[in-house]
Amino acid sequence: MAGLARLGSGLSVAARQVWAKHDRDEDDWLPLWRHLADSGAVAGLLWDEWLPAQVRDVIAAALPGGLKDARRLVVWSAATHDIGKATPAFACQVELLAEGMRKVGLEMPLRGQMDDRRLAPHGLAGMVLLHEWLMERYGWRKRSAWQWAVVAGGHHGVPPSPSDISELAARPRLLRSPGSAGAWREVQWELLDACAAACGVDERLPQWREVKLPQPVQALLTGVVIVADWIASNADLFPYARKAGDSSERERVEAAWRGLALPSPWQPAAPNVDPAELFASRFDLPLGARIRPLQERAVQVADGMAPGLMIIEGPMGEGKTEAALAVAEIFASRSGAGGVFVALPTMATSNAMFSRVLRWLLRLPDARTDAGARSVQLAHSKAALNEDFRALTWADLRATRGVQPDEDSSDGATAELVAHQWLRGRKKGMLASFGVGTIDQLLFMGLKSRHLALRHLALAGKVVIIDEAHAYDAYMNSYLDLVLSWLGAYGVPVVVLSATLPSGRRRELVEAYSGTCDADAVGDATGYPLITSAVRDGASAVHEVPASGRRTEVQVEPLDDDLELLADRLDRELAAGGCALVVRNTVDRVLQTAAYLRERLGEGNVSVAHARFLDLDRMRKDADLVERFGPPEAGGQRPDGPCVVVASQVAEQSLDIDFDLLVSDLCPVDLLLQRMGRLHRHQRGAGQSERPERLRQARCLVTGADWGAVPVEPVAGSQRVYQRSVLLRTAAVLWPHLTGATPAERSVRLPEDISPLVQSAYGPAPVGPPSWQQEMDAAHARYRVHIEKQRTKAESFRLAAVGRDGSALLGWIEAGVGEADDTPAGRAQVRDGVESLEVLVVQRLADGTVRTVPWLDGGKGGRALPTDAVPESQLGRIVAACGLRLPFQFTIPQIADQAIAELEEEVIPAWQFKDSSWLAGELILFLDENCRTRLAGYDLTYHRDDGLEATRVE
């Protein structure tokens, strides 16, 4: 910092007159040299106090001088990032400041005389100037120079493309005005020479000339420069000349850094790798519980390998999450990771995991005795509605002016965990040390979107945990494989969790991360539970794990898809009480089934659970399910009488619920096994003696298909959700059990049969009766075409693979999605499809009164909402928590367009002001007194207990 503090002292009058920033309100300005010095100083502090060692090591590995060279490079990259502002194309924007520059010999046209100045944005201009300077001053070759100069080019989020460079090359007057080109060059070179000397790179650049800067290093440098620039551009932290006072440059930077108060990264201490002691100190184990074999073996494997990729496959309820967190701690202590990110399939699973991770964090030690607060982020679009997350984000009267319009300006502080004010918002949230979020947040690392380098920087410093890996389709997996290859290139340790994976998918994950794979060992492994380990460009291995002793035999049988037949069977099975779970593949089938069963079994004995509820109602539903059907130690009130829950796929994951009997639509075998994991999940008395006698044997009735057809014919709704080929192969591998003559033949043994069933269903060998094969072959051919279409479609906005030749990141995200990463459009890109249309639901009464829906708990229901003003923050938050995803019909383009048009006609103008942060830009669905409305040709009816039902208007 000492050299940068003196950067302006030796400059010419002309160089000191070049401006970087202008405050129109205060009529104040900031000289370019000062902003460059500020940015470089901030970059140095980021390197010293904020960047995890894992990131620093990646940059250092590319340079001959290691960490010392790497720090110099980071500071110099930040100190030169805005050199493109020393050009006529930029300087002409403010006439008063431009005239000051003309007076010292830097001539330039008026702004109106430079219509093509948009072709020289200052990032591109700076990249070109740096490139010229490296070649002219230090004799660098053209190709090598681009690898280093591209960092300046990409500091506003989009690295320039070769066509951008060509357009600018044809207009040299945008860089240096004719008539004073010499003066411009002298000032540009003077500033660059001064930065090189101040940063200590003037003597290193000749040695760096032959260095190939790998693409991961270019991306990390760009990310650090973006962060440094954003901090140094904050006028509250770095005031302009008039407000700067008499403080020295060093005092100016130190005061800004204290005011920012960024939490330092986690520095994990090497944990005690005695597995039992480690788990006892980190997790709330039930009284008398012992560490499970899968958990113990995961810790042992992690302790014996270099940080890399670990895939943990094990049955439901084996504690894979706790194993992953323990492994993450071991990996981080060796790799220098400064945090952990956990990725899950949905917001609901993310919210549930967030609470668990917070409890773990409070017990997690740090190598530093003076470790301060840890920054934490819940990364999904509705994080602000999560109570645990909000508890970390206390409102603060301080407000620091940022440079990004989407950032939240409140501050947060608790004794140990904080959602830091500066690290919140759509672009910066992932920079927090610890995060839990939807898988989208990880997949965005492979989406060509603006400021992508920030997301790479954020994830390159962490251990990444990917949960429920079996839940992602081929489209999402194409993004995931690409992301894994980048994570491997950064040396990021990754832990993948799954109930079980097809052997081919396991091999793909290893190959994506490591670049190589022992195909025989990894692909042919049949043990279960199973741990697979791999390192970048190194060996992979598999480790079979003994089962924990927890096992369940589930007798399966087919049940024709007939509601009367289902009702008769449930009536008989639940005659002495008991709890049954009926899982349907579509919400429409859930509602139809529940309505029929209520008529037969009684209104109070049947409830539903699916995703088509208001957010608050969905949370209430989930809590109710865990309260009634959770583990015995939770102390919930399990129903005594007959009870049926009809649910969609929301019952497959995240909820620790336990039923006596399961009825499931035919679905992919790995998901069916997940559903079976909700059957006799916990021990209830010796030999399950606390369950009704008839239900002490676990049974699963498989329905949703015509079992008499050849081959079996799944119902139409299921084929809309899942591929026909996958459903047929599931039926085929289950056929020996479904048609078994004895209880033993009908039994699926958990966990022993999990892996064989999955490998057979997804493997290449023929399965099922011979009479099925012709139709199954045709369905599989259609499935292969579908998979290829998915992969091809994913390529549209997917990032290129990691370049291994040191080529520059020119055009890195060209033809990308712009700002649409964490938005509905962005999520649709990584999830193969149009995002479900989401609305906020309120009631509008006949007299025009608008209110929150009346049944909400805690005084939230029936609250009047103003229509001539922005609702106060508390009311706005209640409305925002009543989000609802409309049914799949509203993803059909013409219906979605019509619905949006109709909803926009109902917009309340007063709610659209920017200071209405909860409601601005949202679509509002108004229900009448009976909770009904009509939208885009559908009658919509909402019930607090059943959710939304949509009926096409004839």
What is the DSSP annotation of 119-171? GS-HHHHHHHHHHHHHHHHH---HHHHHHHHHHHHTTTS-PPPHHHHHHHHT-
Q: Over the range 789-799, which residues count as b (16 or more CB within 10 Å of their CB) and which as e? A: ebeeebeebbb
Quickly state the pLDDT bin for 563 (edges 50, 70, 90).
Answer: very high
Amino acid 10: pLDDT: 87
- pLDDT greater than 80 at residue 293: yes
Distance CA 936, CA 906 (A): 13
Give the C-alpha distances (Å, rounded to integers) separating 200 from 69, 72, 73: 9, 7, 9
Mode of pairing for the β-strands spanning 417-418 and 374-379: parallel
Of 242 and 480, the structure prediction assigns the larger pLDDT to 480
Distance CA 295, CA 302 (A): 11
Amino acid 463: pLDDT: 98
The average pLDDT across 507-515 equals: 94
State both tokens at 886.
Answer: 């409309």
Amino acid 826: pLDDT: 66
Domain-wise residue ranges, the chain: 2-249, 552-750+766-783, 836-952
Categorise residue 577: left if φ over 0, alpha if ψ from -120 to 50, beta otherwise: left
Same fold, 2-249 and 552-750+766-783: no
Quickly state the pLDDT bin for 406 (edges 50, 70, 90).
Answer: very low
Q: Helix, strand, coil % (nearest 5) of the chain? A: 45, 15, 40
- Superfamily in which the 552-750+766-783 domain is placed by CATH: P-loop containing nucleotide triphosphate hydrolases (3.40.50.300)
Amino acid 379: pLDDT: 86
Mean pLDDT lowest among 238-252, 418-432, 627-641, 778-792? 238-252
Distance CA 745, CA 556 (A): 9
Mode of pairing for the β-strands spanning 552-558 and 850-851: unpaired
Note the pLDDT tens digit of each residue in 24-66.
877 899 999 999 999 999 999 999 999 999 999 999 999 999 9
> pTM value?
0.91
Percent of the chain topping pLDDT 70:
93
The residue to which tokens 């690295």 are assigned:
159
- pLDDT greater than 90 at residue 411: no
The average pLDDT across 768-777 equals: 97
Distance CA 805, CA 212 (A): 8
Amino acid 381: pLDDT: 76
- pLDDT greater than 60 at residue 198: yes
Asked if 580 and 662 touch (Cβ cutoff 8 Å), the reply is yes
Over 18-64, what HEC string results? Answer: CEEEEECCCCEEEEHHHHHHHHHHHHHHHHHHCCCHHHHHHHHCCCC
The conformation of residue 392, written as its DSSP 8-state character, comes to T
Amino acid 242: pLDDT: 54
- pLDDT greater than 90 at residue 644: yes
Phi, psi of 677 (to 5 degrees): -65, -10
Distance CA 895, CA 912 (A): 24
Note the pLDDT tens digit of each residue in 859-914.
999 999 999 998 998 899 999 999 999 998 998 889 989 999 999 999 999 998 76
The residue to which tokens 């040709």 are assigned:
937
- pLDDT greater than 50 at residue 412: no
Quickly state the pLDDT bin for 821 (edges 50, 70, 90).
Answer: low
Quickly state the pLDDT bin for 830 (edges 50, 70, 90).
Answer: confident
Distance CA 785, CA 694 (A): 46
Quickly state the pLDDT bin for 500 (edges 50, 70, 90).
Answer: confident
The closest of 629, 621, 563 to 594, measured between CA atoms, is 563
Phi, psi of 363 (to 5 degrees): -105, 0
Give the C-alpha distances (Å, rounded to integers) separating 400 from 14, 16, 103, 259, 383: 32, 28, 35, 9, 22
State both tokens at 855.
Answer: 């049944």
Mean of per-residue pLDDT scores for the chain: 90
Amino acid 419: pLDDT: 66
Distance CA 265, CA 366 (A): 10
The average pLDDT across 98-118 equals: 96
The conformation of residue 550, written as its DSSP 8-state character, comes to -
Amino acid 544: pLDDT: 92
Phi, psi of 680 (to 5 degrees): 50, 45
Note the pLDDT tens digit of each residue in 308-339.
999 999 987 789 999 999 999 999 999 999 99
Percent of the chain topping pLDDT 90:
72
The average pLDDT across 598-603 equals: 96
Amino acid 473: pLDDT: 84
Q: How many helices (H) and strands (E) does the chain have?
A: 37, 27
Amino acid 416: pLDDT: 56
State both tokens at 653.
Answer: 């994951």
Of 580 and 918, the structure prediction assigns the larger pLDDT to 580
Tally the residues of the chain.
954
The CATH code for residues 2-249 is 1.10.3210.30
Of 298 and 398, the structure prediction assigns the larger pLDDT to 298
Q: In what order do the strands lie in the sheet with 642-647?
A: 606-609, 642-647, 578-583, 661-665, 699-703, 552-558, 747-750
State both tokens at 103.
Answer: 């007076």
